Amino acid sequence: MKIEELEKKVSLSFLVANDFKLKLIGSDTYRINPCPICGGKDHFTINAKNNYYSSFNGCCAGGSVYKYLQEVKGMSEIGAYEELNRLAGEPKKDVNPKPTKAEVTPLSDYTSIINKLYNNQTDQDKQYFIDRGLTPEIIDKYKLCIGDIKELNSKTYGKKAIIPIWKNGQAVFYNSRALEDNPKIKYIKAPGQATFLNIDYLKTVAKDEVIVITEGEFDALSLETIGVKAIAVGGTENYKRFMELNTRNDINILTAFDNDEPGQSHNGEYYIEIPQEYKDLNEWLKANISDFKASINEQIQAVMERIKEQLQGDKQAYKSMSVAGYIETFKNKIDESVNHAEIPTGFKDLDNILDGGLYEGLYIIGAISSLGKTSWLLQICDQIAQNGQDVLYFSLEMSKSELMAKSISRLTYLNAKNKSEAKTTRGILNGKKWADYSFFEIELINNCIDKYGDYADHLYISEGLGTIGVNAIKEAVERHIRITGNRPVLVIDYLQILAPYDIRATDKQNVDNAVFELKRISRDYKMPVVAISSLNRANYSTEINLAAFKESGAIEYSSDVLLGLQFQNQSEKDFDVDNEKSKEKREIEVKILKNRNGSTGKSINFEYHCLFNCFEETGAKEEKKINKRL
């Protein structure tokens, strides 16, 4: 979209009112005092009806929104165009991403006029610059001159001190200053976008050289007088534009802004401090050139020493990131691992495949619904707790009582001499049923509750449907370690119903974030983290594989171990999932889909007594070719 079309969508008066106080002086006509360009009064005018601004004394070119962003806000042509798009509500992707050549203002050439004014001035005229502390060499180098500003801009007049701005050997801009004290208009600049004094330094200075950035041209010239390279940006509001122009990361940039609040607040990390009794560098130079020179050079040397020390520290810090710098830490981790050994799951064949049990890392367990994944993982947690290892279990679906009853139900099955006396989860939770139980059945339940109590002090179950997020889990882990001094095995049941980190994000984005954060917890606290995950519905009747987790790529890539539970005959041609789920004793296979530090493809077979939440290993097997369904 063309600039003039964009400008029609933006009210210039509203835009200006965000930065300056507008005074109504006529129908749809406003004035700003003082002038934001030169600081003068009663000439910077805005015509709201025509969406246009102008200056009676010629301190600026004038124009609409695009020119205002350049001349007053100090933006580059491209930066002004991008901001104009934003103000107009246009998307960043535009058919015309930058102004056309016809819309870009070419640089003016004031070289011949400047040379004429310089050569025509008298020694008395040059004395003005000498009184400002500048040397004849500097006056000649920059062609500083006293002359009638009308020679440069027919809309203005009067004898001024003129500072040309040179670029590529041409005078492309200028700033002029009133010679009298307390003038109505102190500065008059060339119309159009300002060019910075000595901006060519960004092309010509050598590597590691120092450039000092100042506000005013006289401040930059004051530094040039003592041999310090300086660029003047014409005010702190233009410093950001200068940094956008600067593509040199091999030079040292210092600032030396004025001794006022805007100047001090805009100084960078490395800056030259001006004594409080002087408002700027030029005033300091005029007052005491020897002190000025000595202090400036001393401060630059001190800053360079700081930069050198910081660079050395950065180098050492970066070097320590190499493998060589990590060897001692690596050896220490091996020594520390003695105190953080593997944690057996209690299933012998599974532990053999996992090289002894669970280690620091993220374990993901996937299965279709109602297959028994919670019961399987809960049994592992009980077996871990029986060995004296803490388990922090976050149940986001089942209640604490239900999980406890599932564990006790399993114990009744394992401990009953007569299996008919074993009780289901509901048979334990429903107190009415107890009235019909025999003495031996009640004694079995109570004995199993006592057995559960023997290791229950190592089980910590937190429940919450959709209310527990990863941050809350992390806080709970920190609290557990702080209070008990033990690193627990962390269990999440299950991943997809963790509270979202961002309600505006997609389900996939929220799951991915949860996986990344759980992985971070396992790494930061050096503990196993185990999470249950649902599968794609398309995989409910097919053999489990990595594609079943594709709704979240983070599960496949960030997990250290990925386990899949399925029916042992799930790959067979006539497999019927509903028929298998109807069986009281199910043949379940746990498949190692991914093992970052071990072998994959192996499986462990289990008999699952689903009424009593009990899994029993029946042997491990290697991956082999099986008959696929057509």
pTM of this structure: 0.55
114-158 tens-digit pLDDT: 999 999 999 999 999 999 999 999 999 999 999 998 898 887 788
- Give the pLDDT confidence score for residue 340 in this predicted structure: 65
- Give the pLDDT confidence score for residue 191 in this predicted structure: 81
- Give the pLDDT confidence score for residue 190 in this predicted structure: 86
Peptide bond between residue 275 and the one before it cis (omega within 30 degrees of 0): no
**Quick one: what percent of the chain has pLDDT higher than 70?**
93
501-555 tens-digit pLDDT: 888 888 888 889 999 999 999 999 999 999 999 887 766 678 888 888 766 678 8
- Give the pLDDT confidence score for residue 466 in this predicted structure: 65
List the one residue out of 75, 63, 55, 62 whose CA is nearest residue 10: 63
Which residue type sits at 597? N
- Give the pLDDT confidence score for residue 338 in this predicted structure: 64
205-245 tens-digit pLDDT: 999 999 999 999 999 999 999 999 999 998 888 888 888 88
Q: Is the pLDDT of residue 280 over 60?
A: yes
Calpha distance 361→567 (Å, rounded): 27
Beta strand pairing call for 230-232 and 252-255 = unpaired
150-174 tens-digit pLDDT: 898 887 788 999 999 999 889 999 9
* HSE (side-chain half, CA atoms, 13 Å) at 52: 8
- Give the pLDDT confidence score for residue 337 in this predicted structure: 67
CA distances from residue 576 to 366, 534, 582 in whole angstroms, order as listed: 19, 20, 10
Q: Is the pLDDT of residue 97 over 50?
A: no
The helix (H) or strand (E) run that includes residue 520 is helix 507-524
536's tokens: 């794609």
**Pick the residue with more confidence: 385 or 101?**
385
- Give the pLDDT confidence score for residue 2 in this predicted structure: 84
Q: Sorting pLDDT into bands at 50, 70 and 90, what band is 94?
A: very low
**Pick the residue with more confidence: 528 or 184?**
528
Q: Please, what are the domains in the chain?
A: 3-103 (3.90.580.10), 111-310 (3.40.1360.10), 348-621 (3.40.50.300)
- Give the pLDDT confidence score for residue 319 in this predicted structure: 81
Q: Where are the beta strands (DSSP E) in 202-327?
A: 210-214, 230-232, 252-255
320-330 tens-digit pLDDT: 777 887 788 77
Mean pLDDT of the chain: 88
**Quick one: what percent of the chain has pLDDT higher than 90?**
54
